[in-house]
């Protein structure tokens, strides 16, 4: 082979990927590999594995249709070494390229591997920046130095100015940067929730579903019904669908939860953005167009843009700025093992059962379910950060460490001591009761604080504050709950601690 070998990973399925820029179809080849090591790095949800393998196979087809030579190694290839390093070494031996070209990955673990390739392979390895983000790693580092990234809100405003999204000269469209206060409505009873477009499996996906079932049979999660888009064309249709039926009410009900409604008005595009089938820019452009056409209101469009231009970019910046040490912190010294209910969904807490149920069915849960139900529970229960992080990384189709870790380690567990958020998102059952209908029909009562029928979130919340008082009470943003706690009679506090201990110690951790 007279050209370069361009190695494309499963979350790099973008034709404009930096590793594919300047490709010469006459001399170069693209390498793509299906390997068990990636499916087992954590025990990924079976639907996530099938989604990614199918998207990879379709992407390879699309490249071939362009006349590009693709060397594609399948999971069931008998010579497959089942890891990136082994497969790249085999491919280099097969092709004898001038150099290997890759785009920087989404996980520190894989970047370490890439650095190793530069040492171990007989050819140079060129690692290119991943330019699919609005803010490069270097730009984020410069913003950190200029102290413009302390909090997401300031970073977001800076990104609005830089990109011009929702800007009218120097001022934000609509007169304010943030419409969050308008975006916290519970879903009124009787609200019609739109059917969402799903994509029936084609022959490639069906083959991959069978392969996943046979190779990853013991992993968590339903494989079918499978409805994810696996091509760029279908991912664009999914985006169209969201813009038409979801975006107009995305803002109003961004924080709402409803039993049996797994998607509400959310976009469901994170798996596509994160594996490369859609770009962040086109998602933002479409939302801004909808605002211009009068098809969606400003609180919806700003809310959506903030998630992508703000949160998504911010967490990536934090990840790369803080790794590898970021994952090591455990600010609240949380050590409890992960309860089995995270895998089984077997719990009388209806909110937890609902959120774990949607996770099992779709490898998806929307943000507020992840943050305020399963995340809140992990925080209050004091689950060891590494264990809950591994769970979130495994169970969602959109999960890669660059985005999962800051959300779980920082936003949910406050294990980073406040680098990502200034206070933990701890909440009692009252929050879940206000934002959902889960409490209706639950074995517990959100209004009961202690004793028979008490909602566990209530006493776990106060127990969390008691247990972490030394660390959290000096935080000015925690002043109010600590004032309330200070007024609580000592006997009541003791009862809370006892109830929490009995409840938590009674949670099985073994799920077979």
- Site of interaction with ligand SF4 (CB under 6 A): 349-351, 429, 432-433, 438-439, 442, 444-446, 455-457
The count of chain residues that interact with ligand DLZ, using the rule CB under 6 A, is 16
Q: Between β-strands 171-172 and 100-103, what pairing exists: parallel, antiparallel or unpaired?
A: unpaired
CB of 243 to ligand SF4, least distance (A): 32
CB of 128 to ligand DLZ, least distance (A): 14
Q: Which does 313 bind (CB under 5 to 8 A by kind): ligand FAD, ligand DLZ, ligand SF4, none?
A: none
CB of 442 to ligand SF4, least distance (A): 3
Answer for which of 52, 73, 277, 372 binds ligand DLZ (CB under 6 A) is 52
Residue 87 or residue 252: which is nearer to ligand FAD going by CB? 252
Comparing C-alpha atoms, which of 307, 301, 306, 262 is closest to residue 436?
Answer: 262
- Given a contact cutoff of 8 angstroms between Cβ atoms, the answer to whether 253 and 265 are in contact is yes
Residues numbered 242-301 forming contacts with ligand FAD, rule: CB under 6 A? 266-270, 273-274
Answer for which of 52, 408, 439, 465 binds ligand FAD (CB under 6 A) is 408
Which residues in 242-336 belong to E strands, given as ranges?
Answer: none
Structure token pair of residue 402: 């660059």
Stretch that binds ligand DLZ, among 44-52, 113-121, 262-270, 364-372 (CB under 6 A): 44-52
How far is it, in rounded angstroms, from Cα 107 to Cα 389?
Answer: 14
Comparing C-alpha atoms, which of 508, 506, 512 is closest to residue 341?
Answer: 508
Q: Give the contacts of 418 (CB within 8 A, at least 6 positions apart).
A: 331, 475
Helix ranges (DSSP H) in 106-244:
108-120, 137-145, 152-163, 203-215, 232-241
Angle at 25 between CA 22 and CA 28, to 5 degrees: 80
How far is it, in rounded angstroms, from Cα 401 to Cα 107?
Answer: 5
Q: Which does 35 bind (CB under 5 to 8 A by kind): ligand FAD, ligand DLZ, ligand SF4, none?
A: ligand DLZ
Q: Between β-strands 29-33 and 5-7, what pairing exists: parallel, antiparallel or unpaired?
A: parallel
Please tell me what DSSP assigns to residue 311.
I
Q: Is 315 in the site for ligand DLZ (CB under 6 A)?
A: no
Question: By CB neighbour count within 10 A (0-12 exposed, 13-18 middle, 19+ buried), where does 16 fall?
Answer: exposed
Q: Between β-strands 125-128 and 167-168, what pairing exists: parallel, antiparallel or unpaired?
A: unpaired
Q: Is 312 in the site for ligand DLZ (CB under 6 A)?
A: no
Answer for which of 3, 4, 10, 60 binds ligand DLZ (CB under 6 A) is 10
26, 290, 301 from 295: Cα distances, Å: 46, 5, 10
- Given a contact cutoff of 8 angstroms between Cβ atoms, the answer to whether 444 and 456 are in contact is yes
Q: Which does 399 bind (CB under 5 to 8 A by kind): ligand SF4, ligand FAD, ligand DLZ, none?
A: ligand FAD
How far is it, in rounded angstroms, from Cα 393 to Cα 35?
Answer: 17
Q: Is 19 in the site for ligand DLZ (CB under 6 A)?
A: no
CB of 125 to ligand DLZ, least distance (A): 16
Question: Residue 103 is inside which H or E element, if any?
Answer: strand 100-103
CB of 452 to ligand FAD, least distance (A): 31
Q: Which does 49 bind (CB under 5 to 8 A by kind): ligand DLZ, ligand SF4, ligand FAD, none?
A: ligand DLZ
Q: Which does 394 bind (CB under 5 to 8 A by kind): ligand FAD, ligand DLZ, ligand SF4, none?
A: none
Answer for which of 39, 97, 303, 429 binds ligand DLZ (CB under 6 A) is 39
CB of 33 to ligand DLZ, least distance (A): 6
Q: Is 416 in the site for ligand DLZ (CB under 6 A)?
A: no
Q: Is 302 in the site for ligand DLZ (CB under 6 A)?
A: no
> Rule CB under 6 A: which residues touch ligand FAD?
266-270, 273-274, 304, 307-308, 311-312, 315, 366-367, 370-371, 375, 392, 396, 398-399, 403-404, 407-408, 411-412
> Rule CB under 6 A: which residues touch ligand DLZ?
9-11, 33-35, 38-39, 44, 49, 52, 105-107, 110, 400
């Amino acid at each position: 082979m007279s050209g370069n070998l361009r190695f494309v990973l499963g979350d790099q399925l973008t034709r404009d990927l930096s590793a594919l820029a300047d490709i010469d179809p006459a001399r170069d080849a693209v390498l793509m590999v299906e390997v068990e090591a990636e499916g087992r790095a954590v025990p990924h949800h079976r639907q996530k594995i099938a989604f990614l393998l199918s998207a990879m196979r379709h992407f390879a087809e699309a490249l071939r249709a362009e006349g590009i030579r693709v060397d594609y190694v399948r999971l069931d290839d008998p010579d497959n070494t089942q890891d990136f390093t082994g497969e790249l070494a085999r491919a280099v031996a097969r092709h004898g390229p001038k150099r290997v070209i890759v785009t920087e990955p989404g996980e520190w673990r894989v970047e370490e591997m890439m650095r190793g390739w530069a040492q171990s392979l007989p050819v140079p390895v060129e690692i290119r920046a991943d330019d699919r983000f609005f803010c490069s790693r270097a730009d984020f580092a410069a913003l950190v130095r200029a102290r413009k990234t302390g909090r997401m809100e300031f970073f977001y405003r800076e990104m609005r100015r830089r990109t011009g999204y929702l800007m009218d000269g120097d001022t934000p469209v609509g007169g304010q940067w943030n419409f969050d206060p308008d975006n916290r409505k519970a879903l009124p009873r009787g609200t019609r929730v739109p059917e969402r477009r799903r994509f029936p499996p084609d022959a490639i996906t069906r083959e991959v579903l069978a392969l996943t079932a046979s190779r990853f049979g013991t992993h968590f999660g339903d494989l079918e019904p499978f409805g994810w888009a696996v091509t760029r064309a279908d991912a664009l249709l999914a985006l169209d669908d969201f813009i038409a039926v979801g975006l107009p009410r995305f803002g109003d009900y961004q924080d709402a939860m409803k039993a049996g409604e797994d998607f509400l008005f959310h976009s469901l595009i994170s798996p596509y953005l994160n594996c490369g089938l859609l770009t962040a820019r086109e998602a933002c452009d479409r939302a801004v167009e909808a605002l211009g056409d009068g098809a969606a209101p400003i609180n919806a469009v700003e809310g959506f843009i903030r998630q992508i231009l703000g949160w998504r970019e911010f967490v990536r910046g934090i990840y790369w700025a803080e790794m590898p040490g970021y994952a090591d912190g455990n600010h609240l010294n949380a050590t409890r093992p992960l309860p089995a209910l995270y895998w089984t969904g077997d719990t009388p807490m209806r909110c937890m059962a609902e959120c774990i149920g949607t996770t099992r069915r779709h490898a998806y849960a929307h943000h507020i379910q992840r943050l305020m139900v399963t995340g809140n529970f992990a925080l209050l229960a004091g689950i060891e950060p590494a264990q809950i992080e591994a769970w979130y990384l495994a169970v969602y189709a959109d999960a890669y460490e660059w985005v999962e870790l800051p959300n779980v380690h920082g936003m949910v567990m406050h294990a980073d001591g406040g680098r990502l958020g200034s206070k933990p998102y701890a909440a009692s059952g009252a929050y879940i009761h206000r934002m959902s209908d889960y409490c209706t029909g639950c074995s517990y009562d959100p209004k009961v604080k202690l004793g028979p029928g008490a909602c566990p979130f209530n006493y776990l919340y106060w127990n969390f504050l008691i247990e972490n008082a030394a660390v959290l009470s000096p935080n000015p943003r925690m002043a109010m709950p600590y004032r309330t706690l200070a007024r609580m009679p000592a006997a009541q506090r003791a009862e809370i601690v006892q109830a929490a201990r009995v409840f938590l110690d009674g949670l099985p951790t073994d799920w077979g």
